[in-house]
Structure 1
Amino acid sequence: MRIAMGITYNGQAYQGWQSQLSGITVQDHLEAALSRFAASPISTNCAGRTDAGVHGLMQVVHFDSPVARAEASWVRGTNTFLPKDIAVQWVRTVPDDFHSRACATSRRYGYALLQSPVRPSVEAGRVGWVYQPLDLEPMQRAVQYLLGEHDFSSFRAAGCQAKSPVKTLYAIHIARSTQRPSASRDGMPSCYWRFDFQGSAFLHHMIRNIMGCLVVIGQGAQPPEWMLEVLNARSRKVAAPTFSPDGLYFLGPQYDPRWGLPTEAISFDWFA
């Protein structure tokens, strides 16, 4: 019996998704919980790996179960053995040819960013942070150069294991919070920003490296056209430093409707 499962997690306490010898990863905790519930070893495949500190609002995994359980039982039973910052949201029985990674038609990420002269406190670990104000229009112009199929070597981490740096970005959306920016005592405005990315797949650190460049452009240190120069250079050396993982959220994969899988989790309402 092949099972598909939707997972949400706060990534602050973990060394990323993928299993490591330390055991301090989301996959390690999930597989341990599944194995305890099923009373049999279970290994999982995921739709997209996330880095240390990155959060997941709709990670999708699949595994072949050695036992039969009701879908609701998989949710409640697995959650019993999981830490409080990881939770199974839904379970579906799927055909044997379903694969959480290979069947995904695209993947979505979101980045939450606090613009403020004061560092985050309540939101620490859940949002990125910039001190200087950002300008929306230059950033919107800059992302247009990234849409479509490109070689994203300039935004690729040195340790990336992807077979090819060529990926396709379908959409990038940038929005400032609709609430009126609040002014601090020194007169600098504070507000939240949200960046949404949808693409075929993403390289290691690709979004965090794009975010680093967008912040540089949004703060006026480089013009929007600089993004095209960075892209065409195909060299990590010319891009901005890798931005913080704190505000990065894996919003999940998208699948053909024939699989009958949910497209969102309740945590999406919180992120919105």
Structure 2
Amino acid sequence: MPRFALKIEYDGRPFAGWQAQADQPSVQGAIENALARLDPGFAKGARIAAAGRTDAGVHATGQVAHADLDRAWDPFRLREALNFHLKPAPVAIVDSARVADDFHARFSALERRYTFRLVARRAPVTHDRGMVWQILNPLDTEAMREGAAHLIGLHDFTTFRSSICQAKSPIKTMDEIRIEAHPFPGGQEYRFHLRARSFLHNQVRSIVGTLERVGAGSWAPGQVQQALAAQDRAACGPVCPPFGLYLTGVGYPDPPFPAD
């Protein structure tokens, strides 16, 4: 059975998350329903595998999944057919590629990349509502960068891990946290770019929520290191909401999509 990789973009607002659920809409379910219109195996209940399971309300511009199909589709035609059957769900297959049989969207991945969008302005956000986390007052970008530097490298991230996280170990290596400030009409947008081989449940939202407290002046940058060292969930800052979070890319040793 030929294996195909799919690069997927979605608006997470209507979904209970990536993972298929019996009684709630999911991104995985929407794609598998579209595949069932094209492939006998999926009509009988075959499943796709993704690089990561995003939570309810979380978006993606670069999620990757793979599917084993009965037919050797032309990748362009597969993409077009899936996008036709995905309508009107806010899910799009932005690329597709034939991959080796041993390619696995999750287990072959070398890194995941996330971006969190935070907007500071007094007026309510309109066009980006549900796509960013809005606060009222501007933040100190340099203080947040100083706080984030304590999280780079190999650490026990128990403090920044959800209590329901199913990962076997809280020890992860954070390769990059990059914080950018951009003009936004009537305010300022802050983008937090995080890169690691893998992440714990709610790790990104816990880190961004903590760094926001640093940027607001409620925490000193050094308190981030103290919170990390505590290895205690109670030491974490507030966990920010999901709707500013985007899975933006997945890295592989042999990238299936040329732009990656």
Question: Does TM, scored on the shorter chain, surpass 0.5?
Answer: yes
Q: Identify the residue that residue 92 of structure 1 maps to in structure 2.
A: 97
Asked if the contact 2:95–2:257 (Cα under 8 Å) also holds between the matched residues in 1, the reply is no
TM-score (norm 1): 0.90
* Cα distance in 1 for residues equivalent to 2:92 and 2:132: 20
Identity %: 36
Out of 182, 189, 194, the residue aligned to residue 192 of structure 1 is: 189
Q: Does 1:53 align with 2:50?
A: no
Match of 1:233 in 2: 230
Please give the TM-score of this superposition, normalised by the length of structure 2: 0.94
Q: Identify unmatched segments of 5+ residues in structure 1.
A: 184-189, 265-272
Aligned pair in 2 of structure 1 residues 34, 261: CA closer, same or farther (>3 Å)? same
Residue 167 of structure 1 and its aligned partner are, at CA, apart by 0.9
- State the AA in 2 paired with 1:37: L
Give the one of 161, 173, 182 matched to 2:166: 161
Q: How do 1:1-272 and structure 2 match up within 5 A?
A: 1-41=2-42, 42-82=46-86, 83-177=88-182, 179=183, 190-256=187-253, 258-263=254-259
Post-superposition offset of 1:172 = 0.8
Tell me the secondary structure at the aligned position of residue 133 of structure 1: coil
**Cα deviation code 1:135-179 (max 9, x no counterpart):** 0111010011000011111111111111111111111111111x4
SS in structure 1 at match of 2:118? strand
Closer, same or farther in 2 for the Cα pair 1:3/1:127, shift >3 Å? same
How big is the shift at 1:252? 1.7
How much does 1:23 deviate?
Answer: 3.9
Give the secondary-structure state (helix, strand or coil) at the position aligned to 2:172.
Answer: strand
Q: Distance in 1 between matches of 2:237 and 2:53?
A: 23
Matched pairs, number: 255
The separation in 1 between residues aligned to 2:178 and 2:245, in whole angstroms, is 14
Larger mean CA deviation between 194-203 and 117-126 belongs to 117-126
Distance 1:78 1:206 in 2: 32
> C-alpha displacement at 1:120, in angstroms?
1.5
Q: How far 1:35 moved relative to its partner?
A: 1.4
What is the distance in 2 between the residues matched to 1:251 and 1:262? 15
Map Cα deviations across residues 55-94 of structure 1 (whole Å, 9 max, x no partner).
0101100121122221111101111111341011111111
Deviations 1:2-54 (A, max 9, x none): 11111100001111101112241100111111111224323111011111111
Cα distance in structure 1, aligned partners of 2:41 and 2:80:
17
